Chain A
Amino acid sequence: MKYESQKIAQNFYTFAVVLFLVQTVVGIIAAIQFIWPDVLILNFNIIRTLHINALVVWLLAGLMGATYYVVPEESQSELWSVPLAHFQFWATVAAVGLVILGYVWMGLNPQANSPIFGINPLSEGREYIEAPRWADWLIALSVILFLVNNVMTMFKTKHWTGIQGTLVGGLVFLTLMYLPGMFYTKSMVKDQFWWWWVIHLWVEGAWEVIAGALLAFMLMKVTNAPRAVLEKWMYIEVGFVLFTGILGTGHHYYWIGTPGYWLWVGGIFSSLEPVPLLLMVWDAFRTTRENRVVSNKLGLFLATAHAIFNFVGAGLWGVIHTLPQVNKWTHGTQITTAHGHLAFYGAYVLLVVAMIYITLPHIRGVTEYNQSRGYRSFWWMTVSMVFIVLTITGAGMVQTYMERLLGLDYVTVKGTYNLWFWIFRVLFGFGFLYGVGLFVLDYFRLGREPVTVASARFAEKAA
C-alpha cells in the first residue's frame, strides 16, 4: 500500500463480506421455502427481498472499497478527504440497517407498508429496488459523496490514467441509471420499461464497464504487464460491452406490452453480448502468458476465474434464452434463476473476491500470506454454485416443457415434478455456505496469522 488513505477500503470490504454471509444464509432459507413454504414467520417474498438486496448492497460496497483503493494509487496521491469517506461509509451502513429492519417489520405486519403521503414507507414492492423512496435518496446521496471524493482526488494531481477514468466513468453511469427507478408510473408497462433501465443497464452496462477497468488493474498489479497494452484492450472490451449491451436491453422488451420491433433489436444486439466477455477471458490468458512474473498467484487465479465465469454465466447462460423464439417459452421460468445466479457469481462475486485478495495483502502490509484456505474456499463456492445452477437449469427445462409446452399447471409442476431439484438446491446451498464461511474466516485472518513454511516457499518461488 502506498497511501495511508487506501485503508478506508477495508471498512467497505468488511461490510461486504459480512453481508455476503447474510445473503447466503437467507438464500438457503428461500430455497427451503420452495419445499416448505411456512417454515418461518417471514414469508418467501421478504426472505427473497433480503437475499437479493443483501447481494446488491454487498457487491456495491465491495466495488466502492475497491475504488477507494484504486483511485489514490492511480492518482498517486492521498484521498481528497478521509473524514468524508468515513462519513459516507457509516451513513451507508446506517441507511442499509434501517432498510433491512423495515423489510422485517413489513414481514411481520404487511399493513405497516400502507402509503404515507403517497409513499410506501417500508418497501417499494419492485424487485431489486425494493428500498423505499426515502432510502433511494439516501443511497443516491451516499454514492454522490463517494464519487465527489474520488473525482476530487483525481483532480488534485491530474495524473489521469485510462483505468481510473474508465472506472469512474462506469460509476457515474451506474449512479445515473439508478434514477429511472425513482418515479411512479400508473402504467405497469411503463413501470417495467424503466425498471429494466436500472436492472439491465446496471449489470450489462455500468457494472461490466467497472469490471473491465478492475480486470485491467488486477492484471497489471499481479503480473506487472505494461499499462498501455492493458488499457487498449480494456477500451475495446468495455466499448463492445456498451455497443451490444445498451440496445441489448431490448431482450426484456419482448413481452411486456412494448412494440414488436424490440424483438429484432433485442434479439440481434443481445446475441452479440457474449463477444466482449470472451475477449476479457482471452485478455487474462494473454497477459499471463506474456508476463510470467506473478506476485500473487491466488489473486491472478481468481481474476482469471472471474473472467471465465463472467463469460459462462452471463455470456453463455444468457445467450441460450435471449432469442425471442426461445425466450417466448422460457421467459420467467427457473432458466432465468439459473442464469441470474451464475452470472452474478461469475461476473461480480468473483470480481469482488479477487479484488479483495489482490489489494488486502497490501492494505494489511504483508507480501505473503497463507493461500491454501483461499483456494479451498474458491473450490467449495464454485463447485457448489455450478451444481446449484445445473440443478435449477434442470428444473427450468422441466418447467418449460411441462408448463409452457404441454400446459400443465404451474403449481403441479413446482410441487410434483420439480421437488427433487428443490431438495438438491438446498443441499448444494450448504456446500456454498461452507465455502463462504471459509472465505469470511480467511478475510479476517489474512496477514494476521503466521505463514506456514510450505506456502511461504510457494510465494518465494513465484516472486
Chain B
Amino acid sequence: MSNKGARNLFIFGSIFFFLIFLALTFDTMKQIDARSPEITEAVNEGKQAWHKYDCIGCHTIFGNGSYFAPDLTKVTRDKPAGYLKAFLVNPRKTNPNSAMPVLGITPSEAEKLVAFLDWTSRVDTNGWPPEPVLAAMRKAQTGGIAVYQKHGCASCHIIGGVGGTSGPDLSKAGARHPNPDWHVSHLKNPAGTVQGSAMPAYEHLTDDEMKLLSEYLISLK
C-alpha cells in the first residue's frame, strides 16, 4: 500500500466509523427516556445535590465513578427511604461504624437525593447488577431464616459474615437479647424500644412470622 493510500484509509475509514457511531447515538437518545421512569422536579433537584456534594468522588452509580464506597444504583431496593434520609443527614449517628463523613446535607436535600436514587433504581440496566449466586440459593431456606430472608433483614445486618453493615452484626443477637418478647416489641417499634433507632418498623409481619423470627433471633448465640 502506498503512503497516500494508507492515509486515505485512515481518514475516510475513521469518518465512516464515526458516522455509524453517530447514527447509533441518535437511536439511543430516542430510546433512553422510555427505559427510565419520569424525571420529576424532585429527581432533578436530587441529581443536582448529587453533583454538588460530589457523591461520585466516593461512590459509583450505574457502576461508574469511584470504588471507595458501595454502588448506589439500586440502593432504594434494599433500604427504606426513612432509613436513607436519616443516614444521609448524619451517617455517623445512624451507623457509628460508617466511613461516610457528615457532609452537611439538609433534610430537604436528603429527601430529593432519595428521590433521585429511587429513579436510578428503576432504570432498565440490562440486568445489572446481577443477583449473586448465594442470594439465589438462600431463597430455598425455611422457618425463621426464611422470614429473615423474605423481609430483607440481611441488607442491613450480618449473620455469620454475610449481610450488610448498616445495622449491628446479629451473629450473637440471642446472647445480647435473650428474651423473644424484646425482639417482638423491637421489630414492631424499633424507635420505641431503642432510643434514636433508624431501623424500619416491621409491624406488618403476621403473628406466625413474628414467632418464627424472634425464635430464630434468640437462637443466635
Please give the residue numbers on chain A whose beta carbons come within 8 Å of chain B beta carbons, in ascending order.
33-34, 37-38, 43-46, 48-49, 106, 110-111, 113-115, 120, 123-127, 130, 162, 166, 186-193, 195, 228, 231-232, 235-236, 238-239, 242-243, 246-247, 249, 252-263, 265, 328-329, 331-334, 336-337, 403-412
State whether B161 touches A254 (Cβ < 8 A).
no
Asked if A120 and B9 make an inter-chain contact with CB atoms under 8 angstroms apart, the answer reads no
B196 within 8 A of A: no
Is B33 close to A, CB under 8 A? yes
Contact string against A for B residues 69-107, beta-carbon threshold 8 Å, 1 for contact and 0 otherwise: 111000000000000000000000000000101011000
Query: Which residue on A lies nearest to B162, using beta carbons?
Result: A408
Instruction: Pick out which of these stretches binds chain A: B119-127, B184-192, B203-211.
Output: B119-127
Beyond A110-B103, A188-B47, A192-B64, is A258–B28 a contact (Cβ under 8 Å)?
yes
> How would you classify the secondary structure of chain A's contact residues: helix, strand, loop or mixed?
helix
Cα distance, A409 to B156, chains bound together (Å): 9
Say yes or no: A187 contacts B6, CB within 8 Å.
Answer: no
* Cβ contact of A45, chosen from B25, B66, B135, cutoff 8 A: B66
| Structural contact, A242 and B28, CB atoms closer than 8 A | no
Identify B56's interface contact among A126, A239, A262, CB under 8 A. A126
With contact pairs A239-B9, A407-B134 given, residues A259 and B68 touching in the complex (Cβ less than 8 Å): no
Residue interface bits B149-172, CB-to-A below 8 A is 1, else 0 = 000000000100111110000000
Instruction: Kindly state the interface size class of chain B when it binds its partner.
Output: 35 or more
Contact partners of B161 in chain A: CB under 8 A: 408, 412
Closest B residue to A396 using CB positions = B67
A48 to B57 alpha-carbon distance, docked (Å): 7
Partner of A254, one of B7, B14, B126: B126
Instruction: Establish whether residues A242 and B6, one from each chain, have CB atoms under 8 Å apart when the complex forms.
Output: no
* B195 contacts the other chain (CB 8 A): no
Which residues on the B side are within 8 Å of A247 (C-beta)? 17, 20-21, 24
Which A-chain residue is minimally distant from B73 (CB atoms)? A255
Contact of A246 among B17, B71, B135 (CB under 8 A): B17
**B65 close to chain A: CB less than 8 A:** yes
Chain B residues, Cβ within 8 Å of A260: 126
Question: Can you report 13 A-B residue pairs in the complex whose CB atoms are below 8 A from each other?
Answer: A34-B68, A45-B57, A46-B57, A125-B51, A186-B47, A232-B1, A236-B6, A239-B9, A242-B13, A259-B27, A259-B28, A406-B162, A407-B134
Given A253-B28, A407-B162, A409-B164, A120:B7 Cβ within 8 A: no
